[in-house]
Amino acid sequence: MNNRVEQALNEQVSKEASSSQFYLAMASWAENNGLNGTAKFMYTHSDEERFHMLKLVKFINERGGKAIIPQIEQPPKEFNNLENVFERLLQHEIAVTQSINDLVDVCLQEKDYTTHNFVQWYVSEQLEEEALARTVLDKLRLIGGDKGGMYMFDRDLENASIITAPASDNQKK
């Protein structure tokens, strides 16, 4: 496997692992603040990010590279409020999209079209994740400080349709 591509893929492994920890921290914060719907949503999202990481690990190894399992930074322990949680989530996803775009760039420069093809799954995934974060944030801004609205928001999030697939499934998330 091309060295630059391998290194870029391993950097992405680290970012997906950090995403998983970040969402786990949000899930735990929400659970401790009585926001059970939000907690469920974040726990599911954390699992999903772990799946993104595993998908990369398997791809690197299957193509003759060596996946490096990264050390992970401690995520934040506290969040100001729910809006702050989703603002940070959106900013995080925007940064991840940028790193996926950089990865696409490396694939093209190195003419690694197989990896380029593989990475397209992540390109679409980022589109969806950013759109979801923006929708949720818009809703939260509409609700403002209304307690009843917040209760409904948390309940709706519990039913939000995020599907987590086993790591062996390469087609779906």
Using CB under 6 A, list all residues that contact ligand OFO: 16, 19, 49, 52, 93, 96, 125, 129
CB of 123 to ligand OFO, least distance (A): 11
Radius of gyration of the chain (CA): 17
Q: Is the Cβ of residue 104 or residue 143 nearer to ligand OFO in the bound state? A: 104
Angstrom CA distances, 125 to 43, 68, 82, stand at 18, 23, 23
CB of 171 to ligand OFO, least distance (A): 16
Residue 130 tokens read as: 């950013």
Q: Is the Cβ of residue 28 or residue 99 nearer to ligand OFO in the bound state? A: 99
CB of 28 to ligand OFO, least distance (A): 18
CA dihedral 140, 121, 102, 128 (to 10 degrees): -10
Q: Are 92 and 22 in contact (CB under 8 A)?
A: yes
171: DSSP letter: S
Angstrom CA distances, 129 to 42, 48, 91, 120, 125, stand at 13, 11, 11, 14, 6
Angstrom CA distances, 89 to 19, 71, 73, 122, stand at 9, 21, 16, 17
CB of 118 to ligand OFO, least distance (A): 14
Q: Is the Cβ of residue 10 or residue 19 nearer to ligand OFO in the bound state? A: 19
CB of 143 to ligand OFO, least distance (A): 24
3-state secondary structure of 110: coil
Amino acid at 160: A
Q: Is the Cβ of residue 102 or residue 146 nearer to ligand OFO in the bound state? A: 102
Q: Is the Cβ of residue 108 or residue 131 nearer to ligand OFO in the bound state? A: 131
